């Protein structure tokens, strides 16, 4: 069985052991695969493993040997499911591997925005503490988490885990219902919830309903003291609108780990927007999460070889 891994980086930064995985067949690794190289690398594969490399109709229809696609992530939008179904190709994804990593990242950026730890450290390094007449000085004031109201869009595993962690800090937590989705007793309509929040955190899948969900109108429903966090998918927020609202000093700050195009274009307005903390899509990527991902990949492939189903999303 020939197994082709199309984009090993950034999953593996030289810190992942593939020995057990390589026992499952003839494994060919590529650090990255450009669009023009995809078909040639997939032609003779029985199994394709891809994180972000698109496997569309043009690719799949020319891969008669292909039997199994392992998406090396939770999201499944890189594969043309309709064509895969016609060709009896099974598809599996990797659920529940990065929950802790993403939740910890949310709190990492939240603490930075609220307490400006890096700013204080830089201030001390410049000698400001040495010159201070007092034992403590303040660059800004900050609240306890227990006084804050967190709104979460997305009630999947990550959203629920974030809620549990927030409640450990004494935070008030509410889940939002987005327009077009059925209302439920445990959710508040998004537009009704936004004016009540101190923090809005995005944890929903990208869909027709969520794309562009957070626009200027909704951002201005948030109080000026509020913070916006997105670790879900870049296109759920209209980036030009977020930049405008931050330039207008309407929000206290924003932190995004995902953008609409990755890597971003140099003219992306958020790159130069004040009070906008950007990280390069790393919320998911603790060493433990990446190791879990490879372990689940291996379990999925062993199940496939035994004609069993594990984390199968098609087939």
* Enzyme catalytic residues: 233, 262, 281
Residues 283/257, Cβ–Cβ less than 8 Å = yes
How many CA atoms, within 13 angstroms, populate the side-chain half-sphere of residue 89?
A: 30
- Cis? peptide before 158, omega within 30° of 0: no
* Packing angle of the helix pair 99-115, 287-305 (nearest 10 deg): 160
Helix and strand counts by DSSP (H, E) for the chain = 12, 13
The residues that bridge with 22 in the sheet, in sequence order, are none
Question: Counting beta carbons within 10 angstroms of the beta carbon of residue 16, is it exposed (0 to 12), middle (13 to 18) or buried (19 or more)?
Answer: middle
The residues that bridge with 26 in the sheet, in sequence order, are 2
Residues 186/160, Cβ–Cβ less than 8 Å = no
Give the Cβ contact number of residue 8 at 10 Å.
18
Residues 201/232, Cβ–Cβ less than 8 Å = no
Per the structure block, which two tokens stand in for 111? Answer: 């603490």
Torsion region of 11: left, alpha or beta (phi above 0 gives left; psi -120 to 50 gives alpha): alpha
CA 103 centroid distance within chain? 10
Per the structure block, which two tokens stand in for 80? Answer: 């043309």
How many CA atoms, within 13 angstroms, populate the side-chain half-sphere of residue 99?
A: 15
């Amino acid at each position: 069985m020939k197994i082709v891994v199309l984009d090993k980086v950034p999953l593996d930064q030289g810190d992942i052991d593939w020995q057990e995985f390589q026992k499952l067949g003839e494994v060919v690794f590529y650090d990255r695969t450009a669009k023009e190289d995809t078909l040639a690398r997939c032609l003779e594969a029985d199994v394709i493993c891809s994180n972000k490399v698109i496997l569309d109709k043009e690719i799949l229809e020319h891969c008669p040997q292909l039997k199994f696609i392992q998406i090396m992530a939770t999201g499944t939008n890189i594969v043309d499911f309709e064509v895969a179904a016609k060709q009896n190709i099974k598809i599996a994804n990797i659920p529940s591997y990065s929950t802790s990593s993403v939740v910890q990242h949310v709190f990492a950026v939240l603490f930075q925005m609220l307490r400006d730890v890096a700013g204080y450290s830089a201030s001390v390094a410049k000698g400001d503490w040495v010159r201070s007449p007092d034992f403590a000085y303040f660059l800004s004031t900050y609240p306890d988490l227990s006084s804050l109201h967190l709104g979460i869009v997305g009630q999947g595993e990550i959203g629920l885990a974030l809620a549990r962690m927030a409640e450990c800090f004494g935070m008030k937590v509410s889940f939002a219902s987005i327009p077009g989705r059925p209302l439920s007793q445990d959710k508040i309509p998004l537009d009704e919830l936004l004016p009540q929040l101190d923090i809005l955190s995005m944890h929903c899948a990208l869909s027709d309903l969520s794309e562009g969900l957070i626009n200027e109108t909704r951002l201005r429903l948030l109080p000026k003291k509020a913070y916006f966090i997105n670790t879900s998918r870049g296109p759920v927020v209209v980036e030009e609108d977020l930049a405008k609202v931050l330039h207008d000093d309407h929000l206290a700050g924003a932190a995004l780990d995902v953008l609409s195009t990755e890597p971003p274009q140099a003219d992306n307005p958020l790159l130069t927007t004040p009070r906008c903390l950007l990280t390069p899509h790393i919320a998911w990527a603790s060493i433990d999460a990446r190791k879990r991902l490879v372990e689940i990949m291996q379990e999925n492939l062993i199940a496939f070889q035994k004609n069993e189903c594990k984390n199968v999303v098609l087939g």
